[in-house]
Amino acid sequence: MIGRLNHVAIAVPDLEAATATYRDTLGAAVSQPLELPEHGVTVVFVELPNTKIELLHPLGDGSPITGFLEKNASGGIHHVCYEVDDILAARDRLKADGARVLGDGEPKTGAHGKPVLFLHPKDFAGTLVELEQV
């Protein structure tokens, strides 16, 4: 069902500093910051030959990243994102197998302009999983 790894998301307390580390210290190509108010985050994508790193920073008071950073002040891996061909078919199969889809269960538009869903970390070895339709 899952395809390739699309990205690994890292929540960061200082987006400018994290961007500079990947760009200047590690020599990676990084995107401009993109605000996603519907998700409560600002993101920067680090482009790698085989995948991407998504740097996440809270946007607004209700950001889901705020709570994560309160527990992990220096930041850390927030989620992994896998590609799927058909997000609704993947959702339905996962739900039938007992996996919990977060939110209302309906896909939202993600940072790449494609439908995404998040799966409960307790169902996936403690890892928050994002599915993105390609």
Active site residue 130: yes
Point out the catalytic residue in the list 54, 83, 130, 132.
130
As a three-state string, the secondary structure of the chain is: CCCCEEEEEEECCCHHHHHHHHHHHCCCEECCCEEECCCCEEEEEEECCCCEEEEEEECCCCCHHHHHHHHCCCCEEEEEEEEECCHHHHHHHHHHCCCCECCCCCCEECCCCCEEEEECHHHCCCCCEEEEEC
Q: Which are the catalytic amino acids?
A: 130
